[in-house]
């Protein structure tokens, strides 16, 4: 009898949340204030990182900016300061666990308070076919896109839990929900990022008294930052699914973060291939990929990266 009652309550809850989500498409929920928050952004010297910094600065948040490139990181900090907020730039190698923990301690000591929001934005891709890719590039992708999420969370979540206040944001990718050819390192790392984030979110939800610690998973389609330069789907389909303009991507992500939305796919049409991957046979998805030109969309990108191989660097967000 108890099970039946619980089942009925669960069904009613599911219906309620479906209706609430539908209503939010028409009447968005109230956004939260982030002025006074201490927001840490990784990959802050890149295109998306700088745009996130700008948006949070415009809202009055104090910023902690982490990037491996000191010069570009400082340029982001300067932009934020010009908008009237404090910005603290740190040069950090996210492939080094001890570097993350050591810099986290520096932030607490030098800034004088705990980070309340973490935007895990940094990301890289090797840009090589698997059998032609050096192992160190494969490892680097996994370390930055996946392993660093564990270390960042362990460095900053305890303080959020102690205060029952905080927000962890993971900038993953639609390639963490469905895959394509020739970017095995990136897809593997982003699938791992999605799995990590969802498991962490479930863990926080099971702990009583942590209603103030929020999570948001952001899964954008390919963003026109140069990271996947040359990537191209079938002619005639690009109008349906063009690369995202960086500012649009960040604005949509901010909209989700500011209303504590647990998951957002950008654009919304990318929910469809995610659902088809789960519901349709493998061969049916392969046929759809071929029609869209998504099966070989990374081939031009790989060729572009091969032309840059002389510089010895993987592409970064």
The residues assigned a catalytic role are 186
267 preceded by a cis bond (ω within 30 of 0):
yes
CA 50 – CA 103 distance, rounded (Å): 20
CA 213 – CA 195 distance, rounded (Å): 18
CA 201 – CA 118 distance, rounded (Å): 14
What are the two backbone dihedrals, phi and then psi, of residue 186, each rounded to the nearest 5 degrees? -70, -45
What count of other Cβ atoms lies within 10 Å of the Cβ of residue 309?
Answer: 11
- Which pairing describes strands 87-91 and 117-120: parallel, antiparallel, or unpaired? unpaired
Closest CA to 239 of 280, 292, 286, 277: 292
CA 63 – CA 68 distance, rounded (Å): 16
Which single residue is written with the structure tokens 């469809």?
A: 272
CA 103 – CA 228 distance, rounded (Å): 30
């Amino acid at each position: 009898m108890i099970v039946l009652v619980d089942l009925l309550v669960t069904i009613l809850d599911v219906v309620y949340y479906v209706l609430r989500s539908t209503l939010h498409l028409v009447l968005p929920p109230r956004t939260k204030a982030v002025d006074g928050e201490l927001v840490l952004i990784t990959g802050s010297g890149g295109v998306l990182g700088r745009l996130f910094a700008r948006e949070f600065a415009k809202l009055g948040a104090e910023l902690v900016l982490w990037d491996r490139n000191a010069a570009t990181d400082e340029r982001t900090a300067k932009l934020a300061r010009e908008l009237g907020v404090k910005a603290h730039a740190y040069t950090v190698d996210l492939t080094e666990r001890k570097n993350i923990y050591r810099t986290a301690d520096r932030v607490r000591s030098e800034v004088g308070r705990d980070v309340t929001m973490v935007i895990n934005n940094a990301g890289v891709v090797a840009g090589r076919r698997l059998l032609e890719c050096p192992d160190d590039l494969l490892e680097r992708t996994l370390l930055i896109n996946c392993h660093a999420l564990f270390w960042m969370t362990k460095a900053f979540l305890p303080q959020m839990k102690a205060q029952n206040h905080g927000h962890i944001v993971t900038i993953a990718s639609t390639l963490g929900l469905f895959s394509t050819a020739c970017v095995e390192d990136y897809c593997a790392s982003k699938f791992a990022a999605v799995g990590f984030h969802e498991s962490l979110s479930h863990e926080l939800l099971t702990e009583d008294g942590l209603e103030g610690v929020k999570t948001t998973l952001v899964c954008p389609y390919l963003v026109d930052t140069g990271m996947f330069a040359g990537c191209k789907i079938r002619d005639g389909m690009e109008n349906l699914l063009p690369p995202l303009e960086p500012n649009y991507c960040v604005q949509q992500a901010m909209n989700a973060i500011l209303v504590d939305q647990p998951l957002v796919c950008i654009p919304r049409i990318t929910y469809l291939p995610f659902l088809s991957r789960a519901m349709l046979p493998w061969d049916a998805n392969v046929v759809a990929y071929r029609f869209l030109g998504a099966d070989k969309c990374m081939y031009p990108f790989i060729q572009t990266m091969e032309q840059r191989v002389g510089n010895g660097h993987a592409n970064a967000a």
